[in-house]
Amino acid sequence: MAVLNDLIIDDVTVITMDAERRTMRSATIVVESGAIVYVGPASEVLQAWAGELPAGLAERLERMPRLQGRGRIAIPGLVNAHTHAAMALFRGYADDLMLQEWLTTKIFPIEAKLTPDDVYWGTSLACAEMIKSGTTAFADMYFFMDEAAQAVEKSGIRASLSVGMGSLAQVADGVDGGSGGFGAVLARGTALCEKWHGAAGGRITTMLGPHAPYTCSVPFLSAVGERARQLGVGVHTHVSETFREVDEIRSAHGMSPVGYVESSGLFDAPTLAAHCVAVSDEDISILAQHGVRVAHNPGSNMKLASGVAPVEKMLAAGITVGLGTDGAASNNNLDMIEEMRLAGLLHKTARRDPTAVPAHVCLEMATRGGAACLGLAGSIGSIEVGKRADIVLLDFGAPHLAPVGIADPVSHLVYAASGADVSAVIVDGCVLMDDRKLTTLDEHEIMAEVERRAARLVRAVNAK
């Protein structure tokens, strides 16, 4: 297992996403104890320690393992700001259906058959896929999250985990809203936070996950907000995914979904709101005022025909926007490079403006934006001194990425590359993949387990 906390990357083009959004050519990156301690020209490495050169530093640097950067591009690890990782089990099981039919006849019945071990293996598959396509951190909401946390711990990836919680009886589906009333549900969400927040050397953090306005009562949302503040964790929820949701909440409560959640006080806790497709200008003001972070999911929104989130308006209002894939059952992959491209293309199309959501904004959302969505703006999202070493190397030596010299590397990344161009992935200074070989996970074992379990789940659904 080639995991290391110290390493040097040589002679690499670095898209830093630092405060000045600098791109550096032929740079060196030095990582010590999982943190970035230097980014710049090879000739100036020692100057980083100027005035306080630690004893033995030169020798230590000499001995550090090196990753070859020549011909490669280094970017901050991509952050998937909204997914349901274990749903990778259901990839390709049901597509091209109306949302309600898809949920009620396909997804809910198969989710009802899931075991904790299924979630472990489904999450492991998602982690393998995410690492292989350049994602180093993700925000997850599902159930059997203890097992999901174990999969994350083993994989070496970074994640913010939450139990999807609901308090309204009619929806038990994909949501832990089962027996025992909302106190019991909230207790299960709380237990995850108490057990796992800060675990795996800080790689695992947690949030409380009230599922959505249509599955959670106002008193429940209030209680969740209060509990989040007590625990010192954030909140991960879905808001205004569809226009149908807006119609239903408005006719039941006389408010928009955003207004409904605001009325509960939930937004007083740091909140990550997935989707925000069907939001009005007034909703956007509310989200901005409370510092709510938004996870935009262009691929899932397009595939389910949910609508187009007003991303440019939200960004203009000062809202932090990250990008998410949503679950692999509605995407159908977890490739954040593709998600960046879809964000760029979707908003150009919807706005009829080819300058809308340009490549650098897509990358911004997938890195710094996602980091802030996970409450980790101070520690990940850019390649700069002091941040954790979550770094992705891409190989730009392929026909679909030529020529390189005349091109903006951010354009190549967003408009021409794919997850398969990722060659190495580093989280916390540990190499999780090099030359496309995973170091912490056995992808063949995982695929075999998933194949067997998916077949069993479908048999169980068909037998009932």
**Interacting residues with its own copies between 87 and 106 (CB under 8 A):** 88-93, 95-99, 102
Range list of β-strands (E), 166-296: 204-210, 234-239, 271-275, 293-296
Neighbouring CB atoms inside 10 A of 108's CB total 15
Give the residue, chosen from 191, 302, 317, 385, that forms a contact with its own copies under the rule CB under 8 A: 302
Applying CB under 8 A, the span of 1-9, 17-25, 86-94, 209-217 interacting with its own copies comes to 86-94
Give the residue, chosen from 338, 339, 364, 390, that forms a contact with its own copies under the rule CB under 8 A: 338
Applying CB under 8 A, the span of 169-177, 196-204, 364-372, 448-456 interacting with its own copies comes to 448-456
Near its own copies in 380-419, by CB under 8 A:
397-408, 411-412, 415-416, 418-419
- Measured from the CB of residue 51, what is the shortest distance to its own copies in angstroms? 42
C-alpha dist (Å) from residue 217 to 134, 209, 214: 38, 14, 8
Size of site (CB under 8 A) for its own copies? 76
Binding status of residue 445 toward its own copies by CB under 8 A: no
Neighbouring CB atoms inside 10 A of 399's CB total 5
Give the residue, chosen from 135, 215, 271, 332, that forms a contact with its own copies under the rule CB under 8 A: 332
C-alpha dist (Å) from residue 444 to 92, 268, 298, 437, 450: 19, 44, 30, 11, 10
Binding status of residue 20 toward its own copies by CB under 8 A: no
Taking every pair of Cα atoms in the chain, the longest distance, rounded to a whole number of angstroms, is: 72
Binding status of residue 451 toward its own copies by CB under 8 A: yes
Judged by beta carbon, residue 50 or residue 305, the one nearer its own copies is 305
Give the residue, chosen from 304, 311, 336, 380, that forms a contact with its own copies under the rule CB under 8 A: 304
Give the residue, chosen from 261, 365, 392, 450, that forms a contact with its own copies under the rule CB under 8 A: 450
Judged by beta carbon, residue 63 or residue 352, the one nearer its own copies is 352
Near its own copies in 129-148, by CB under 8 A:
129, 132-133
Question: Strand pairing partners for 430?
Answer: 427
DSSP 3-state of 156: coil
- Measured from the CB of residue 362, what is the shortest distance to its own copies in angstroms? 10
Near its own copies in 349-368, by CB under 8 A:
349-356, 358-359
Distance CA 385, CA 407 (A): 27
Judged by beta carbon, residue 11 or residue 226, the one nearer its own copies is 11
Binding status of residue 447 toward its own copies by CB under 8 A: yes
Judged by beta carbon, residue 98 or residue 184, the one nearer its own copies is 98
283 membership: H or E segment, kind and range: helix 281-289
Applying CB under 8 A, the span of 12-20, 112-120, 138-146, 325-333 interacting with its own copies comes to 325-333
Tokens of 296: 């935009």
Near its own copies in 269-288, by CB under 8 A:
none
Binding status of residue 328 toward its own copies by CB under 8 A: yes
In terms of Cα–Cα distance, which of 353, 410, 373 is closest to 296?
373
Give the per-residue contact string, 214-253, with its own copies (x = CB under 8 A; - = no). ----------------------------------------
CB-side exposure of 430: number of CA atoms within 13 Å? 20
Question: Strand pairing partners for 68?
Answer: 10
- Measured from the CB of residue 200, what is the shortest distance to its own copies in angstroms? 21
Alpha helices in 133-239 (DSSP H): 145-155, 181-196, 218-231
Instruction: Give the list of residues 6+ apart from residue 106 with CB closer than 8 angstroms, or none.
Output: 93, 94, 97
Distance CA 168, CA 172 (A): 8
- Terminal CA-CA length for the chain: 43
Give the residue, chosen from 20, 305, 435, 464, that forms a contact with its own copies under the rule CB under 8 A: 305
Judged by beta carbon, residue 185 or residue 366, the one nearer its own copies is 366
Binding status of residue 333 toward its own copies by CB under 8 A: yes
Binding status of residue 54 toward its own copies by CB under 8 A: no
Q: Are the C-beta atoms of 392 and 75 separated by less than 8 Å?
A: yes
Q: Are the C-beta atoms of 323 and 339 separated by less than 8 Å?
A: yes
In terms of Cα–Cα distance, which of 296, 229, 319 is closest to 265?
229
Judged by beta carbon, residue 288 or residue 350, the one nearer its own copies is 350
In terms of Cα–Cα distance, which of 372, 366, 242, 358 is closest to 300?
242
Applying CB under 8 A, the span of 3-11, 183-191, 229-237, 344-352 interacting with its own copies comes to 344-352
In terms of Cα–Cα distance, which of 322, 220, 232, 231 is closest to 276?
322
Judged by beta carbon, residue 264 or residue 301, the one nearer its own copies is 301
Binding status of residue 463 toward its own copies by CB under 8 A: no
Judged by beta carbon, residue 55 or residue 406, the one nearer its own copies is 406
